[in-house]
Amino acid sequence: MIPRTRTQRLLSRSRSSLALLFRKKAPKAGLAILVGIMLFLIIGSFVNPYSPYKDSKLLNSPPSPTHIFGTDFLGRDIYSQIVNGAYPSLLVAVIAALGSVVLGVLAGVFSGYYSRLRGLVGGTGDLIMVFPLLPLLLLIGSLFVATNLFIATLLIFVLWPLVARAIRPQALAISKMPFVQAAKTSGVKDREIVMTIVIPQVLSIAIAYFILNVSLALVLTTALEFLGVGNPDLVSWGSILYWAEQFGFLAGAWWWIVFPGTFITLTGMGFALIGFSLEEVFNPRLRV
Amino acid sequence: MGYLRNRIITYAIIWFIALNFDFILPRIAPGNAAEILANGGRLPALQVQQLEQRFGLLQPVTVQYLLFLKGVFLNFPPDFGFSYQYFPASVSQLFFQRLPDTAFLIVIGLALAMTLSYLAASISSLRRGGKFEMGTLYTSVALQGTPVYWFSMVLLWIFAVSLKLLPISGQVDASLEGFNYMLSFLEHSILPMSVMTIATFGQWYLLLRGSSQQILQSDYILAAKSRGLSEETIARRYVLRNSLLPVISLASLFLGNMISIAVLVETVFGYSGVGDLFVDGVINRDYPVLEGSFFYVTTIVIIGAVIGEIVLQRLDPRIK
């Protein structure tokens, strides 16, 4: 059946893209990892008997039946810390990714469609991408009171150029297409063209970059938490490693370092694999 | 040439904006004035007086701004005053003392990563879609999600604590001399260097691969295939060399990224380079050090970007 209506056309295109996606091994692995971790976290929050902030007498004990991942230097259960610490870190990462994609799509679409904006937006974006992110984030994050929202905002500011850079060529290509030119000459307002035509077309890439950005933002957030930005006393994936770096080596507590980091890595990997495969599928230039 | 000139002017403007930002930021941070005076409480009165004089701390902001600009533009190297923490060492002195070590990590790390990923790309292109390519690809993507600092800690644990093969922290054993000194330096830098190389390799390989994907779809590749050249010859003669082009110019843009990685690596391994200095400054609220480091890093990154643009301009005749 030849797709006639716009919805049918969109569906048939995404169906074939999705089919391609599910044939690859990588996104399946990534999805499996993420689902596994999600389950672990959700079930874990019901199952675990300890509060992550509760000291106990069992200082620096290796993994055991009572403390699956061992305890830290204050006797706090590491398993609970991982389960509870997921929320701050992941929340910031997801919000940052969402914001950066929204901003990046807007920037990319407008600089692709309006040629006058291209130099300014492109230049600013390129400069932000060139800059060493961590020192900048570290500097700002440590000078001001860094709440999680503040960190998320910083990350949005730093991550949007990546998205805009990928979206701009697509927006440009679309705006040069005959039917868009036709719409313009027949009097359709620019804003309407952008809203109804350009943005839906770039949506698929935007989703891919959203997932990739969650991975990036997660790594950046935990890195900042690791360096002590924000509140190191608040249990988050990065702050666990903050304390582990200072006291773990001395105490010989390898479990303190290995387990939290493994979770960060696996989650980051899961998102990265899925996002990367999505990008390959939706960006026709990257296909092997 | 006009395009290049515009870009350079843009970068110069951005550099100047960053300079002002560097001045403004510590001064609008909450608790700033109290911090400085509190720091002064730890130092002897004479030094507090010197600090006040140098930075004009008790004077209006406009005077401070002028002092700041005077320090930056009228001296070479720019004078950012003394560090609060390492008084009376000057900020520039501290920075340049540590710069070679960080530069060592970054330059050699980047060179190794580029070489390795180019090799990997060459091998991959011999069998497109084969096991080697897929393996390296997914490893690189997986590496993207791995936090550098955690990876450093794990390596540190394995090699320094468990196996006791390499030293735990620091940069060199200062008590040794001559050849032993060099050896100790190398020993201390193996782990940081490895982490930098591996972290950079992943990203670099993905860039290289993306570039060669695009090349593969070009018309001249199709023409070569239709002429009957084997995949191997095509790969060797056309794809790899041409995919190198956009990537080389990116090398200087990568600098910022590598500095970020260096900050983390130096912190974990206790390697006293520029990144470590910066983190120290953050922890100790050492504003002069922060201002100075930020300025130098910005300048280096922008110079790198400009060089990258020039190189791209020269190598690619299409952008004129």
- For residue A19, the model assigns a pLDDT of 63
Report residue A7 as tokens: 């919805």
Q: Nearest C-alpha of chain A: how many angstroms from B179?
A: 30
Lowest mean pLDDT, pick from A241-255, B241-255, B270-284: B241-255
CB contact under 8 Å between B301 and A139, yes or no, is no
Q: How far is A128 from chain B (nearest CA, A)?
A: 10
Contacts of B213 in chain A (CB under 8 A): 285-288
Q: Which residue of B has its CA nearest to A125?
A: B14
- pLDDT above 90 covers a percentage of chain A that reads 6
The residue with greater pLDDT, B203 or B252, is B203
Report CB contact under 8 Å: B297, A268: no
Mutate to test the interface with A, among B4, B28, B153, B266 (most CBs of A within 10 A): B153
pLDDT the model gives residue A225: 87
Model pTM score: 0.82
CA distance B111 to B98: 20
The residue extents of the domains of chain A are: 25-46+69-286
Mean pLDDT over residues B205-224, rounded?
77
Tell me whether residues A131 and B253 touch, CB distance under 8 A.
Answer: no
Residue B221 confidence class, pLDDT cut points 50, 70, 90: confident
> For A38-64, what is each residue's pLDDT tens digit?
777 777 777 776 777 777 666 777 777
The pLDDT value recorded for residue B167 is: 63
What mean pLDDT is reported for chain A? 79
Report pLDDT for A97: 93
Partner-chain residue, chosen from B7, B10, B142, that has the shortest CB–CB distance to A272: B142
User: Under an 8 A CB cutoff, do B279 and A130 touch?
Assistant: no
B contact test, residue of A28, A134, A242 with most B CBs within 10 A: A134
Domains recognised in chain B with CATH numbers: 2-73 (no CATH), 98-315 (1.10.3720.10)
Question: What mean pLDDT comes out for the span B62-87?
Answer: 73
| pLDDT given at position B320 | 47
Task: Tell me whether residues B153 and A223 touch, CB distance under 8 A.
Answer: no
pLDDT tens string B126-140: 777 777 888 888 888
Region A108-114 average pLDDT: 80
pLDDT above 70 covers a percentage of chain B that reads 76
Option in A139, A264, A288 nearest B150 (CB)? A264
Interface test with B, best of A82, A121, A127 (most B CBs within 10 A): A127
What pLDDT digit, counting tens, does each position of A211-267 carry? 889 988 999 999 888 888 877 788 888 888 888 888 877 777 777 888 888 888 888
- pLDDT value at residue B34: 46
Q: Binning pLDDT at 50, 70 and 90, where does residue B175 land?
A: low
Task: Determine whether the interchain pair B290/A139 forms a contact, defined as Cβ–Cβ distance below 8 Å.
Answer: yes
* Of the candidates B243, B204, B17, B167, the residue with the CA atom closest to the CA atom of residue A127: B17
User: pLDDT band for position A121 (50/70/90)?
Assistant: confident
Report the run of H or E that residue A19 belongs to, with start and end.
Answer: helix A6-23
Cα R_g (chain B), whole angstroms: 24
Q: Which CB contacts under 8 angstroms, 24+ apart, belong to A145-150? A: A145/B30, A146/A224, A146/A229, A146/A230, A146/A231, A147/A230, A148/A88, A148/A91, A148/A92, A148/A230, A149/A95
Q: How many CB pairs (< 8 A) connect A and B?
A: 144
| pLDDT band of B171, cuts 50, 70, 90 | low
Range scoring the smallest mean pLDDT among A164-178, A258-272, B57-71: B57-71
Which of 3.30.1490.20, 1.10.3720.10, 2.10.260.10, 3.90.1150.10 would CATH assign to domain A25-46+69-286?
1.10.3720.10
List chain A residues with CB under 8 Å of B278.
Answer: 135, 138
Mutate to test the interface with B, among A23, A118, A139 (most CBs of B within 10 A): A139
Cα of first residue to Cα of last residue in chain A, in angstroms, is 29
Around B236, how many Cα atoms within 13 Å sit in the side-chain half-sphere? 5
Is the separation of the CB atoms in B20 and B26 below 8 Å?
Answer: no
Distance CA A244, CA A237 (A): 11
Q: What is the mean predicted confidence (pLDDT) over A270-285?
A: 77
A89 neighbourhood in chain B, CB within 8 Å: none
Write the ipTM: 0.79
Which of A20-29, A146-155, B51-60, B174-183 is modeled with the greatest confidence? A146-155
CA A81 – CA B69 distance, rounded (Å): 48
What residues does B82 pair with on adjacent strands? B90
pLDDT of residue A26: 67
Residue-wise pLDDT for B191-208, tens only, equals: 888 999 998 898 888 888
In angstroms, the separation between the Cα of residue B68 and the nearest Cα of chain A is: 19
Place of tokens 């695009």: B214
